[in-house]
Chain A
Amino acid sequence: MRLGFLLAAVLACAPLFAQDTKKEIQKYQQMIADGSPVELFELEGEALWRKPQGPSKVSLEKCDLGQGPGVLKGAYARLPRYFKDADRVMDLETRLLHCMTTLQGRSREEATKRVFGNENQPSEMEHLSAYIAAQSRGTKLAPATSHPKEKEAYELGRALFFHRAGGWDMSCASCHGEEGKRIRMQELPVLHKREFARPIMATWPAYRVSNSQFKTMQWRINDCYRQMRYPEPTFASDATIALTSFLTVTAAGEPYRGPGTKR
């Protein structure tokens, strides 16, 4: 009943989206992207990447993001992927957490104490994500898909995308499963379809101008679940990694052009 009401409200707010309205919004998006504070986050991220931290007093510079220890060029575009040393498929933030605990000797508790920041104090993960994602600019999204666990993550992500649950009996597909929907002025991309997933996955993580915060994929998924009235997903959980796998594989081939700038 609630879902029906919600859907009706969403659809009621989404009459035909005039073509010129769409064009003007695209112009807005273009203008804010060209001249975005994103680069400031990349700068801080670089400093954090090089900063010796933790009991081991070591920087993250030897962290292997899938292309070899310390290799950043194109690394983000090839995530998520299976990592033998952790026997697990990992997305960027999960892998960073892994390096923080194994290389730097930090506890998971300390390293995840504040994964999502705010406008006055972004988190370490946010800065690092901005820096590392930037090193994949121009590289085509190519998450690994050959290992059995990578296939599993993709399938789990796809199942989760369509699975209805939570307080309002919603799934990702409730908002992102049908063309022509929007919430207020925000067009809702159909994320299980290649053509719509591609521009999205090519521009996350992103700087959100509406609250001046840098948002990562772990945050994005967390916040979607919050809006659907689900219990909060654990940071770097299998479920969150699986969804990112599904979305990135769906968007594979698209040249990465982030970190993005969004409303």
Chain B
Amino acid sequence: MAGPMKMRATLAGGNTEVRVLMSHPMTTAQMKEGLHHIRNVVVKQNGKTVVEAEISQAVSRNPVFSFRLKGGAKGDKIEVSWLDNKGESNKIETAVA
């Protein structure tokens, strides 16, 4: 069961600042839980993919990412989704404040 996510998207200096928090153990193979980490993160702005990320178990537990999208306006739909190495996934959608 994927943990909660939280996201804040605001306008700053003509761009859209996105900060997304993800609940995920991000454990390495050495840890007792075994290798369990987010592999892919996709950021969409009004349905259009703008960032595609591949990440490893070297990203900290409960990852927090900040992105900057070009332009944007209040009310824009920002969606961030993730997929991990076990096939679990989660996503969150927020309107730009």
Contact = CB atoms under 8 A, between A and B. Distances in A.
- Contact between A and B in the complex (any CB pair below 8 Å): yes
Interface residues of B, number: 14
Interface size class, chain A: 10 to 19
B6 A43 contact: yes
A43 B8 CA distance: 14
A119 B61 contact: yes
Interface in A100-150: 119-120
B49 interface: no
B33 interface: yes
Nearest to A212: B61
Interface string A30-46: 00000111011001100
A40 B33 contact: no
A192 to B, nearest CB: 34
B89 to A, nearest CB: 17
A46 to B, nearest CB: 10
A209 interface: yes
B15 interface: no
B6 A40 contact: yes
Contacts of B5: 40
The dominant DSSP class at the A interface is: loop
A40 B21 contact: yes
B25 A40 contact: no
A119 B5 CA distance: 16
A150 B27 CA distance: 45
Nearest to A37: B62
B66 A40 contact: no
Interface string B30-51: 0001000000000000000000
A35 B25 contact: no
Interface of A: 35-37, 39-40, 43-44, 119-120, 209, 212
Given A36-B64, A39-B21, 7 more contacts: A35-B66, A37-B23, A37-B64, A40-B6, A43-B6, A209-B60, A212-B61
Interface of B: 3-6, 19, 21, 23, 25, 33, 60-62, 64, 66
